[in-house]
Structure 1
Amino acid sequence: MLLSEVWSLFQEEKKLEFSPYTMKSYKLQMNLLIRDLGDRHIQEIYYIHLKQYINRHAERLKKSTLGCRVRFIRSVFKWAHDEGITKTNESAKLKEPKQGMRVPKFIKDEDIERLRESAKGAKEKLLINLLYSSGCRIGEIQGMNIKDINFEQRYITVIGKGNKEREAPFDNKTYIWLKEYLGQRNDDLECLFPTDHTFKENDGKPRRLSKAQLRYIVKRIAKRANIDVSIYPHRFRHSFCTHLMDRGAPMEVISSLAGHQKIETTRIYAALSGERRRELYKKYF
């Protein structure tokens, strides 16, 4: 069976299991693999071919990017083996490159307040407060719908990685701006963040804001705040986890609130919390 045929079967099988973002990334990876090895029969591809493919691009790609490439190959080839398409799993011995632990960058408390003050209007105020108090990924923010908001319990139901549903809580400030913002809406759209006159659609009708548009709004607010570090949506998520860790929240609680699939992801913030303590020590001692 040709690689292109394997991909067609694989994506049909996995489209409900994986998120659209994962499938889009996997499609790109398959195109790159076919471009390099050719659209050949998967039964004719052995470990040495896969290893050489990874090594050919090792010098120009980041280790994290190579890791994604290896995980994709292992996922497809394992599936092909499980389905009886191949007799052996030639990707089983393929290893991800070792990566040094990267300490996520967070936003200082004082900069969070500056961002809140620099946001203009209920929509921007809501976005900044929601990013910080919920710790949601930008894709989760972009996919939020009004019907998924529980005002009484103060959480929003979101779909995270792997199409897993979870309850993302929000604080009092976010609650206030949610009420204010929704009270100003005069449309019947289901999405929490639709476009407005700033982002014109071809037909002039509002649509759900894209992730790129949401990132642009955050950059615009950060520019007004005149903060000397790069501000982007995922940095709010790092701040959410870091500040919870600094305030003594158990790691299991942080992992659950953030929707981490593995507790090892949350452990990174323990190291970050240590960086934060050293920073505060230098500041106040």
Structure 2
Amino acid sequence: MQTANEQIISEIVAYISTLTDVKTDEAKSELSKIVTRYNVTSVQEDEVHPDLDDKITLFLSAKKLEGLAAATLEGYQRDLNVFAQHIKKRTDDITTADIRNHMGTFPHLKMSSLGRKLTVFKSFFGWLTAEDYLMRDPAKKLKTPKKEKRLPKSLSIEELELLRESCKTNRQRAFLEILYATGCRLAEIQQLNRNDIDYHAKSCKVIGKGDKEREVYFSYKAMYHLEKYLRSRTDDNDALMVSERKPHGRLSKRSIQREITLLAQQAGLEKRVTPHTLRHTFATLTLNNGADITAVQALLGHSNPATTQIYAQLTQEKKREQHKKFLVQ
């Protein structure tokens, strides 16, 4: 069996011999001298090309140094690894068509998810080009898909009360009230510890997207049910929310999601309810109640005002409905 060096020499000589009249033995001898100065390895059909794999590692290391959030880095790595397993080429051999064809293998994804994937590829190939690993950027011509304009779903006050009444445990009521009162993302609450809470000020600091810290606030109702839950616990785990079974580990995001869904079913709500629905509800109801949109933006941790503006648009629609319903003509 030929070594990788011998294989590449044979293939080059075979190709050259079809073009010109060359002395194959002499060509092999000269090529052997050249190839011995390099570490040549063959790539199997089902393997990721080592060049692409190396470039992905370099890119992720650079982004980590730039301060990209750990969760974002994991998403980048996941998308790029799937891409590498599909394409199996050197980075400088990858074309715009390769990226477009890869994107076409996800017909089930929404435009927003496809747009996120393309953002990863644009960042990766843009970085390779800027760092002179590539002469041209194959992702540059690709346009980000337009996102569907959807208003976020929120709960009415009546639906929120039905959720509250469906709570069977102190823990369920505690995380329901906290998610609604703070408007936090699930991950921001799930990672909290007991000593993160300022019980006197009824507030805490959370780490949001981009590892940005912000202060959020509890309602009297949320603080009451949180303290009631904590008093009922017999474990010494630092986590704010723990599993009911021993050894009482930190409650996972999936467990909280599952319990919120269960509460909605028990409450007889027809709409799909998630922890993020409570975040939408916080934003919508506070704006409907006259809160300043800039303050709501800060409380939600939105870096882009346009994101918060979506809730304001929903509020305008609500006002239009009220005007139509109650105007005496």
Q: What is the TM-score normalised by the length of structure 1?
A: 0.88
What amino acid maps onto 1:43 in structure 2? D
Q: Is residue 2:127 matched to residue 1:79? A: yes
Give the aligned partner of residue 63 of structure 2: 14
User: How much does 1:43 deviate?
Assistant: 2.4
- Distance of aligned partners of 1:263 and 1:93 in 2 relative to their CA distance in 1, 3 Å threshold: farther
- Higher deviation after alignment, 222-231 or 157-166: 222-231
The answer as to 2:297 corresponding to 1:247 is: no
Higher mean alpha-carbon deviation, 84-93 vs 2-11, is at 84-93
SS of structure 2 residue aligned to 1:14: helix
Amino acid of the residue matched to residue 54 of structure 2?
Answer: E
Partner of 1:200: none
- Aligned match for 1:136, one of 175, 178, 184: 184
- Of structures 1 and 2, the one with the larger relative CO (CA 8 A, separation 6+) is 1
Distance 1:94 1:153 in 2: 50
**Amino acid aligned to 2:58:** L
Q: 1:159 aligns with which of 187, 190, 207?
A: 207
Displacement after TM superposition at 1:267 (Å): 1.3
Aligned to 1:230: 272
Which residue number corresponds to residue 74 of structure 2? 24
1:217 aligns with 2:259: yes
2:262 and 2:127 mapped to 1: Cα distance?
A: 44
Alpha-carbon distance in structure 2 between the residues aligned to 1:6 and 1:120? 52
TM superposition shift of 1:31: 2.2
**SS state of the match for residue 195, structure 1?**
coil
1:175 aligns with 2:223: yes
Map of 1:26-45 to 2, 5 A cutoff? 26-38=76-88, 40-45=89-94
C-alpha distance in structure 1 between counterparts of 2:228 and 2:60, whole Å = 42
1:62 is aligned to 110
1:36-82 residue CA offsets vs partner (Å, 9 max, x unmatched):
321x222222434333433x347543211210111111122223234
The structural deviation recorded for 1:124 is 1.2
- Please point out which of 122, 140, 143 is paired with 1:92: 140
Per mean C-alpha deviation after superposition, the further-off stretch among 111-120 and 100-109 is 111-120
Which residue does the alignment assign to 1:271? 313
The unaligned stretches of length 5 or more in structure 2 are 1-49
**Runs of at least 5 residues in structure 1 that lack an aligned partner in the other structure:** 198-203
Q: Secondary structure at the match of 1:156?
A: strand
SS of residue paired to 2:109: coil
Shift of 1:151: 1.7
Of 47, 50, 54, 1:5 maps to 54
Higher mean C-alpha displacement, 28-37 vs 85-94: 85-94
Separation of aligned partners in 2, 1:79 and 1:194: 42
Which protein has the larger Cα radius of gyration, Structure 1 or Structure 2?
A: 2
The verdict on how the C-alpha distance between 1:14 and 1:275 changes in structure 2, with shifts beyond 3 A counting, is same
SS of equivalent residue, structure 2 residue 215 = strand
2: CA distance, partners of 1:195 / 1:144: 14
SS in structure 1 opposite 2:205? Answer: strand
Distance (whole Å) between structure 1 residues aligned to residue 324 and residue 278 of structure 2? 23
Tell me the CA shift for residue 194 of structure 1: 1.0
Residue matched to 1:47:
96
SS at match of 1:182: helix
Amino acid at match of 2:51: L
Matched, 1:147 2:147: no
Give the superposition deviation at 1:208. 1.0
Distance in structure 1 (CA, Å) of the matches to 2:200 and 2:138 = 53
Retained in 1: the 8 A contact 2:112–2:148? no
Q: Deviations over 1:174-221 (max 9, x none)?
A: 111122122222222121111112xxxxxx522111111011111222
Q: Which residue of 2 aligns with 1:256?
A: 298
User: Partners in 2 of 1:254 and 1:220 — Cα distance?
Assistant: 29
Q: In structure 2, what residue type is equivalent to 1:91?
A: A
Taking structure 1 as reference, are residues 6 and 66 closer, same or farther at Cα in structure 2, changes over 3 Å only? same
**Residue equivalent to 1:123:** 171
- State the alpha-carbon separation in 2 of the partners of residues 50 and 230 from structure 1: 34
Deviates more, 1:22-31 or 1:110-119: 22-31
| % identical equivalent positions | 33
- Of the three residues 193, 201, 213, the one matched with 2:241 is 193
Number of residue pairs matched by the alignment: 277
Q: Secondary structure at the match of 1:173?
A: helix
Q: Give SS of 1:2's match.
A: helix
Secondary structure at 1:100's aligned position in 2?
Answer: coil
